[in-house]
Structure formats: C-alpha cells, structure tokens
Amino acid sequence: MGMRPGRYRQWVRALAAGLAVVALAGCVSSGPRNPMADWVRSKNYDVRRPVLIVLHYTEQDSVEQSLHTLRNRNSGGRVSSHYLVGKDGSLYQLVSDEKRAWHAGAGRWGTITDVNSASIGIEIDNDGKSPYPQAQIETLLKLLDDLCTRWQIPRSQVIGHSDLAPRRKVDPGPLFPWKQLADAGFGVWPAADAGDPAPGFDPWLAMQAIGYDLQDRAAAVRSFHHHFRGMEGVELDAEDLRVLWALTRLPAGDVQP
C-alpha cells in the first residue's frame, strides 16, 4: 500500500527526530567532548573511584527535612550527600557513588585536599545532641561493608566531617559510636595494650600522620577528642598521648591518610 506525500513527510520528520534523540543519548553516555578535537573514542576508561568515606550528622529534625535540604538550595547554598541513614535504619541514596557530591566543603585529610572528589559522603539523621539508635548504626555498618567491598576503599578510611574540617565542623560529634565501627572493622582505633609512649614521642607528628590538619591545633585536638575519646577539650593530656602512640603503632596499611 502506498503512503500519501503528507504522511510520508511526517514519517521522515519523526524518524529524523528519533535518530537525533539516539545520537544525543550517545553523546551524553560518552561524556563531554571537546569541540577542538576529533572524537576517536577509546573503551579504556573508568569512573571516579572514591578512596575515603566521610560521616556526617544532619543536625536537623527529621529525615524529610534533611531530604529536602540535600536536594535543594538552602541558606548556605546547595549541599548534597551520597546517602542518608534514618533513625529507624532506613537508607536513602541521593547521588550516584561515581559522582561528586557536595558534602565535605573546605578541608583536608592527610594529603587529600579536594575531599569531595575523593570521597563518599554519608549523612546520618541526628540532631547533634542525641544518641545514635542501634538500628541506624546497623544499617550504616551494612552500607560501609557494601561500599568498601564494591569500591575497594580501605576500611581504615572512614572518618568524620570534623576530622577533615576541625575548624568548621563538629559532626558526627562526641556521641557517635566510633568504637562500635572499629569493632566491626571500620576506621582506626587504638589497641588497649600498646603501652606508654616511647621517650621523645611527638604527639603533633602523630596527629599529622593519622591525617589531621594542624593549622588550628586546638580545633584538631577537639576533633580528635570527639573521635577517639567521646569528650570535649582542646588540650592534649597523658591519655591522649597513649592513644596517639597506640594509633601510630598500627600496621602501616591501617593508617592511610
């Protein structure tokens, strides 16, 4: 059966539009192209590979409020994270693992200065003043196991927001159960039997070796106290030195700033 000229023209336009969509989809999936260069596609490439996991608390009243904040512009500008863990153990993903979320801001951990580009951010529904429910921590541990396994992130490379930005941040705060995470194999934790520091031990060099930025030593000590001792304070004491000595005695693979 023949096709009338008008219907034929409609069919041609529809076909052209469909081919344009397919071509555009191909361009998007291939990533941005530089118009200055001839495109000769190679199959030898990979996605972004995070090497660090950063834990935050939301300091808000509910998961719903945090989901809104993490998906929209707020008073401080746009912010996001890869995951959000609810108090009841519910888990939400907002940004794909291989994409760069805006969760860390300015700061550094060891030699990593662009933390957003090198990390996965996990927000935890907590107002900053309350204990973390067990259901929430159990979900977090499952998520950490999944991320470290799939992305081959060293399990020692799980830190808090305050660790990388001690002058600006305090989350996930002194109530966060870092020891429970360490018992499950995530982060670093001092051995109880490491003993006293050797003569001449320098605690500031030890803090740098762990990953802390010492531009503001008082702020760094506060973050260290939150993480390893669950307390406030901006001055090192004898117990801090024992903790730092124990952390520096860990196997080399366990501390990788």
Question: What would the pLDDT profile of 160-170 be if each residue is shown by its tens digit?
Answer: 999 999 999 99
CA gap 237, 224 in Å, rounded: 12
4 pLDDT more than 70: no
| Span 194-228, pLDDT tens digits | 899 999 999 999 999 999 999 999 999 999 999 99
Amino acid present at 161: H
CA gap 108, 198 in Å, rounded: 29
Task: List active site positions.
Answer: 123
Q: How many other β-carbons are positioned within 10 Å of the β-carbon of residue 136?
A: 20
CA gap 104, 55 in Å, rounded: 9
The pLDDT-based confidence of 147 (bands split at 50, 70, 90) is: very high
List the one residue out of 194, 187, 51, 61 whose CA is nearest residue 116: 51
Q: Evaluate whether 226 touches 166 at the Cβ level (below 8 Å).
A: no
Q: Evaluate whether 135 touches 234 at the Cβ level (below 8 Å).
A: no
Q: Evaluate whether 108 touches 213 at the Cβ level (below 8 Å).
A: yes
Every domain of the chain and the residues it spans: 52-183, 203-254
CATH of segment(s) 52-183:
3.40.80.10
Count H helices and E strands in the chain, helices first. Answer: 9, 7
Q: How many other β-carbons are positioned within 10 Å of the β-carbon of residue 79?
A: 18
